[in-house]
Amino acid sequence: MISGGGTGGHIYPAISIAQALQDMVQGVEILFVGAQGKMEMKKVPEAGFQIVGLWISGIQRSLSAQNLMFPFKVISSLFKAFGLIRSFKPHAVIGVGGYASGPLLYAASAKKVPTLIQEQNSYAGLTNKWLAGRVNKICVAHDGMEKYFPADKLVVTGNPVRKTILLKPDLKPSAYEFFGFDASKKTILIVGGSLGARSINEFILAGYDRLAASGYQVIWQTGGYYFEEMKRRVINPSANILLKDFVREMQYAYAVADVVISRAGALSIAELMLTGKPSILVPSPNVAEDHQTINAMALVERDAAVLVKDNEAAEKLIDTAFALIEDEDRKRVLSENIKGMSHPNSAKDIANEILKMIA
């Protein structure tokens, strides 16, 4: 059983782990457990896996009537989680963070089922910190996580990413053709995470005319929530700026990108590591414990990415992108360093840890 979700940063690693288990164990049965109403309830079935939803959500940071329901949700989810453990009889239960993994991993550990959690970020999430003392193994993306977890349970595996992200040497010609781009021109890729990013979209919109006049090709992924608004607010559309709600063929986008502007979510960073792309990270200020800045600094301190703070991006982001895309030596150093931090076999390594627990 695999549990967790809420964002793509939790869901896609979970799916990658499940796919690795399928590749390694013939006839393996996998059941996902998510939170009702969250995006995993759609994304997991799209990937071909069964999922069951728990009535669970997080505690609101502000005073909210929803918080009054939290104890009832926890009790309901625990009852259902224990029932799922009894009926499915898993050999192992994996949590990837997110609300639903708390009740399920608690129930599994109480029933002495082997348990493993995977932490994607450089700053441990609340659910995973709470579960750390109960589980058998903890797979992490980065070194130095002993400050959050018992050292004897830790294994550094990196973050699993989609298999399609891997860049093949002969991919570029078809990638340029796919986007209708000119291979002789440089390209900037702008992504804001699986749900989009309001502030990055506003920064790009404000600098749209400068980007259009620069001669660079731009892939601007707004996120589905912001797409129609951004499209409406672009006054003079430019042929060299491709506005997309969501790029499903990300292997093509990474293949043509000379520079990537991105949030600093765990999944985004794992993909940048694997593809070795020179990157400008703009951490979201609206996440728990400012963990995206901590994620970004893990790269910046190793000269593997450039950091632009969200509250400084209006003045600095476009200029920083223009300077980096023309600096071939700087791009080479960033690319080599970020590539050196990648874990290309992460999903398989986590699957091996799972199998070792139940051997």
pLDDT tens-digit map of 195-229 = 668 999 999 999 999 999 999 999 999 998 899 99
What would the mean pLDDT of 238-254 be, rounded to a whole number? 93
Q: What would the two tokens of residue 248 be?
A: 């499903």
Are 152 and 14 within one domain?
yes
Q: Is 7 annotated as a binding residue?
A: yes
Are 113 and 173 within one domain?
no
Domain housing 21: 2-159+345-358
Q: What is the mean pLDDT of the chain?
A: 92
Share of the chain above pLDDT 70, in %: 95
Flag whether pLDDT at 132 surpasses 80: yes
- Please report which confidence band the pLDDT of residue 185 belongs to, taking 50, 70 and 90 as the band edges: very high
Judged by average pLDDT, the poorest of 63-77, 182-196, 317-331, 345-359 is 63-77
Residue 230 is predicted with a pLDDT of 95
Are 52 and 191 within one domain?
no
Q: Is 187 annotated as a binding residue?
A: no
Alpha-carbon dihedral angle through residues 222, 310, 194, 4, given to the nearest 10 degrees: -160
What would the mean pLDDT of 9-24 be, rounded to a whole number? 92
Are 169 and 282 within one domain?
yes
Are 151 and 215 within one domain?
no
Are 258 and 314 within one domain?
yes
Q: In this predicted model, which residue has the larger pLDDT, 138 or 122?
A: 138
- Please report which confidence band the pLDDT of residue 262 belongs to, taking 50, 70 and 90 as the band edges: very high
Are 148 and 215 within one domain?
no
Flag whether pLDDT at 62 surpasses 60: no
CA-to-CA dists, residue 351 to 30, 109, 116, 285, angstroms:
13, 19, 10, 33
Residue 124 is predicted with a pLDDT of 87
Q: Is 97 annotated as a binding residue?
A: no
Q: Is 221 annotated as a binding residue?
A: no
Are 14 and 146 within one domain?
yes
CATH number, domain of 198, equals 3.40.50.2000
Residue 119 is predicted with a pLDDT of 93
What would the mean pLDDT of 51-75 be, rounded to a whole number? 74
Residue 39 is predicted with a pLDDT of 87
Residue type, 217: Q
Are 220 and 104 within one domain?
no
Are 201 and 320 within one domain?
yes
pLDDT tens digits, one per residue of 279-318: 999 999 888 778 899 999 999 999 999 999 999 999 999 9
CA-to-CA dists, residue 51 to 36, 209, 291, 341, angstroms:
10, 45, 28, 33
Q: Among all chains, which residue has been given the structure tokens 């951004």?
A: 230
Residue 266 is predicted with a pLDDT of 87
Q: In this predicted model, which residue has the larger pLDDT, 52 or 67?
A: 52
Q: Among all chains, which residue has been given the structure tokens 């609340």?
A: 126
Are 65 and 187 within one domain?
no
Q: What would the two tokens of residue 336 be?
A: 């080599």
What's the chain's length in residues?
359
Residue 111 is predicted with a pLDDT of 97
Treating both helix axes as pointing N-terminal to C-terminal, what angle do 8-24 and 266-275 enclose, rounded to 10 degrees?
60
Are 265 and 221 within one domain?
yes
- In sequence order, the 6+-apart residues with CB closer than 8 A to the CB of 257 are 187, 188, 189, 219, 277
User: What total of structural domains would you count in the chain?
Assistant: 2
What would the mean pLDDT of 331-344 be, rounded to a whole number? 95
Residue 68 is predicted with a pLDDT of 67
pLDDT tens digits, one per residue of 232-241: 999 999 999 9
Residue 75, H or E segment: helix 66-88
Q: Is 194 annotated as a binding residue?
A: yes
For residue 238, give the 3-state DSSP assignment.
coil
